[in-house]
Amino acid sequence: MQITSVGHAGFHIRTAAGSILCDPWVNPAYFASWFPFPDNTQLDWDELGNCDFLYVSHLHRDHFDAKNLAEHVNKDATVLLPDYPVPDLKRELEKLGFHKFFETEDSVKHTISANGAEIDIMIIALRAPADGPIGDSGLVVSDGETTCFNMNDARPVDMDVLHDAFGHVDIHLLQYSGAIWYPMVYDIPSRTKSNFGKQKRQRGMDRCRSYIEQVGATWVVPSAGPPVFLDDELRYLNDDHGDEGNIFPDQMVFLEQMRIHGNEGGILMIPGSVADVRGAELELTHPFEPGLIYDNKAEYIELMAQRLAPVLAAEKQTWATGEGPLLEPLKALFEPIMAQSDLICDGIGYPVGLVIGDETVVLDFPKRVVRGPIDGEGKYRYGFRIAPELVRTVLRDNEPDWVNTIFLSTRFQAWRIGGYNEFLYTFFKCLTDERIAYADGWFAEAHDDSASTELAGWEVQRRCPHLKADLSKFGVVEGNTLTCNLHGWQWDLESGRCKTSKGHELRSRKLS
Ligand code: FES
């Protein structure tokens, strides 16, 4: 099997039964905030796009690059489609002209063929509201000699399905770096922000190592991030100035972490690197010396910013302009969604302030209305300050998901009193009838907490109250606090109270 990195979470996998192009991202995403790092614009995208199969793991813009897919990828390629409850990914691909779909079943091994040969594949589909834009996935490919698990940024809760279906994994490609706006956009003192950033940075790498241990592959390729921020106002987000609170560590940092923890199987792949893998044997070639990127990363980024400045400027030209208040269009967008999502609105529980230029619009979730501010209302418990052109653009484009547009851009500020509110971000990513119905129903389903596990002298429910991660694998106890490393949520073991978000109580008992 020959695996070529095409940048970020993108890979081209060549097998006897044809080639699979995965997550080919090259154009800037999220209001031109994110660019692929290292630069992958020099690759031959027509050649890469001439593939037999296409796999797009999910709809986040650093995985689903509509422009690249439209311009360079063979529309007769068979799409290996994850098994998602809401069919948005398939619809978006159909709009681009793809017409052959191999609809997989979640976590089931399938055989596909091309060129007279066969390979086995399996797509693990994550379907919780917190997983990507309602859906994230990982792809397993096996040609009988080599098994590759391209997990990208998916967070499967159960690795048994992988081992039961494929046995040993030879090469594991996965995310280790941050891909979120927290804590950078929050209005909090800089020292607190830096401490939160440090925790976030370390937790992301710890989670990755936990997955690496569970999968037990011979070779590991850190992938799917970090992006690079080339806009002057966002350049501080790059991990190129020794800031320990930066949540975007690069491949070199993570490979070092692996070595510190005794794992020598880490492989650096940059765009154009080729790994020829035959079971446990791997031969690696790079298109050029990677030191040219990492030895002086700040300079590399500066040159990249100069080179891609016209691309950034052109993207900004596409943002909507306009005048006039936004209350009415936002009312028309949000109120019908509020009316369909009792559980989510109650979970948010407070009015949320959107400060858009000079205008403040209040999403009054308890009352299910969108309105102007009321005198004496004071500071909103949750709030966002967003530039009007971004809001006008998502309204113009009928975007169903503000996470996949505004929030991941990091081009906003936020504040909150109290912990993270999962319901709030779920609401913003479910701005269609179909999505909100699915998400509200998902929260309504009772979660099974009948099984238990023992951790450091405590008996706790086996499945994490957040998204059912196996706490015997992801749970870490320090003092009376349990941390689930899958998303870093924490519980007080004495009371079972979730310290991270409202609700989500944990069943726990001290063993004598
Ligand atoms: S599954 Fe998300 S914190 Fe445990």
Ligand 1 binding pocket mutation candidate from 180, 200, 203, 489 (most atoms within 8 A of CB)? 489
113: CATH: 3.60.15.10
CA dist., res. 46 & res. 168, Å (int): 34
334 with 272, same domain: the answer is no
CA of 489 relative to ligand 1 center, distance in Å: 6
Looking at ligand 1, which residue's alpha carbon is closest to its atom 1?
Answer: 467
Do 223 and 269 touch, CB atoms closer than 8 A?
yes
Q: Specify the pLDDT at position 466.
A: 82
Do 403 and 133 touch, CB atoms closer than 8 A?
yes
Q: Specify the pLDDT at position 448.
A: 63
17 with 55, same domain: the answer is yes
Q: Enumerate residues 6+ apart whose C-beta is below 8 A from 86.
A: 134, 135, 434, 435, 438
80 with 136, same domain: the answer is yes
Residue 322: inside a domain: no
CA of 473 relative to ligand 1 center, distance in Å: 11
58 with 32, same domain: the answer is yes
Peptide bond into 38 cis (omega under 30): yes
Q: Which residues line ligand 1 (CB under 6 A)?
A: 464, 466-467, 469, 484, 486-487, 489
CA of 465 relative to ligand 1 center, distance in Å: 7
User: For the chain, what is the domain count?
Assistant: 3
277 with 398, same domain: the answer is no
185 with 240, same domain: the answer is yes
63 with 207, same domain: the answer is yes
CA of 469 relative to ligand 1 center, distance in Å: 6
Give me the domain span that covers residue 162.
2-312
Residue 318: inside a domain: no
137 with 58, same domain: the answer is yes
Residue 51: inside a domain: yes
The ligand 1 atom nearest the CA atom of 469 = 1
Is the four-CA dihedral 448, 84, 153, 423 of positive or negative sign? negative
pTM, whole model, 2 decimals? Answer: 0.90
Residue 320: inside a domain: no
357 with 391, same domain: the answer is yes
380 with 462, same domain: the answer is no
Task: Locate 232 and state its tokens.
Answer: 């002057």
Residue 400: inside a domain: yes
Which residues in the chain show pLDDT less than 70?
445-448
Angle, vertex CA 49, rays to CA 47 and CA 51, nearest 5: 95
Residue 371: inside a domain: yes
CA of 225 relative to ligand 1 center, distance in Å: 21
160 with 189, same domain: the answer is yes
Of 107, 116, 65, nearest in space to 83 by CA: 107
Residue at a domain's end among 444, 462, 490? 444
Residue at a domain's end among 444, 476, 502? 444
Residue 141: inside a domain: yes
112 with 257, same domain: the answer is yes
CA dist., res. 42 & res. 176, Å (int): 25
Residue at a domain's end among 396, 419, 444? 444
Residue 494: inside a domain: yes
